[in-house]
Amino acid sequence: MTAVQQPVLTAEQLELRARLGAGARYDAAAAPHEDLLLARQGTAYFLRKLQELRDQDFDAPSRLDGWSHRHLIAHVGYNARGLARLVEWARTGVETPMYTSAEQREREIVHGATLPDRALRHLVDHAVVHLNVEWRDLEDAQWDHRVTTAQGREVPVRETAWMRAREVWVHAADLGSGGSFDDLPPALLDRLIDDVLAAWRRRGEEISLTVAATDRSGDRHVRALGDGGPEVSGTAAAIAGWLARGEAHGLRCSSGEVPAVPRWF
């Protein structure tokens, strides 16, 4: 068995831990540190864009069909709570699904959208803290405990860090307060493109296309789905926005018009 590699702490980090004391929580050595960093950076970005959204704009439509900004904000808050339930499952061994049903998820969002503006902002803040506490309470071996996502996939609980990262970064762009796929970290954009294409493959979507990211090289430059089909090219940010949200800005297609694509989820 390979020993878990302990993280190397800087002098400043060691000093901070000494000041905080034994009761402070830290990520386990086996935690998915890069994905957790993406999730926490994305959370900070989402919260900044939420702060820039005026209360009087909460009722305006978001970039998601049928959802106001209220619905979107409630969803981001309750998503953190749902992921926290999966992490609790891994920690305790007691099955606690992300949602008991699709209807429960929908009811949560609809209810959350009725909250007063300040309460809705607080919902997100509190849910973020709760999820971080659950992550930091996981021990090394528990990060590989398998849980079931809302889509029915069985994954190690470490996947929740990536699930949250894509959630907050993408929905920050959906808020309509200045967020953009252009702001997403390059590593996240690349994985996001892979994620959407993989989701379509799992569902058996009958679509064939090739995407070519003009600002990438190697295996990140071209990806194909189905028999290849027409080639759609543009920056990784533009491609990710098209695949995830169907927005064909700044793209070119070898067959003429950029085709419509299926829903991500």
* pLDDT for res 136: 96
Averaged pLDDT for residues 192-202: 94
Averaged pLDDT for residues 116-138: 97
Nearest residue to 189 (alpha-carbon basis) of 157, 160, 158, 223 = 223
Overall CATH class of domain 186-253: alpha beta
In the chain, beta strands by DSSP E: 146-148, 154-156, 209-213, 222-225, 231-234, 252-253
Token pair of 123, please? 């919902």
The model's pLDDT over 11-30, given as tens digits with 9 standing for 90+, comes to 776 675 666 565 567 899 99
* pLDDT for res 4: 42
Averaged pLDDT for residues 206-214: 93
Nearest residue to 237 (alpha-carbon basis) of 261, 258, 213 = 213
The model's pLDDT over 72-124, given as tens digits with 9 standing for 90+, comes to 999 999 999 999 999 999 999 999 999 999 999 999 999 999 999 999 999 99
Distance CA 91, CA 140 (A): 10
Exposure string of 206-216, with b = 16+ CB inside 10 Å and e = fewer, is: eeebbbbbeeb
Handedness of CA 215, 218, 224, 230 (dihedral sign): positive
Q: How far apart are the first and last CA of the chain?
A: 37
What does the angle CA 123 – CA 153 – CA 264 come to, to the nearest 5 degrees?
70
Exposure string of 23-43, with b = 16+ CB inside 10 Å and e = fewer, is: eeeebbebbbeebbebbbebb
Determine the residue type at 64. L
* pLDDT for res 32: 97
* pLDDT for res 18: 65
Looking at residue 214, what DSSP letter applies? T
Distance CA 263, CA 228 (A): 19
247 CB neighbour count, 10 Å cutoff? 16
Q: Which residues pair with 223 in a beta bridge?
A: 211
Q: Which CATH architecture fits 32-179?
A: Up-down Bundle (1.20)
The model's pLDDT over 146-176, given as tens digits with 9 standing for 90+, comes to 999 998 999 999 999 999 999 999 999 999 8
Distance CA 193, CA 241 (A): 9
* pLDDT for res 19: 66
The model's pLDDT over 216-233, given as tens digits with 9 standing for 90+, comes to 998 888 999 988 899 999
The model's pLDDT over 31-44, given as tens digits with 9 standing for 90+, comes to 999 999 999 999 99
CATH 3.30.1050.20: which residues of the chain? Answer: 186-253
* pLDDT for res 1: 38
The model's pLDDT over 234-264, given as tens digits with 9 standing for 90+, comes to 999 999 999 999 999 999 999 999 999 999 9
What is the pTM assigned to this prediction?
0.89
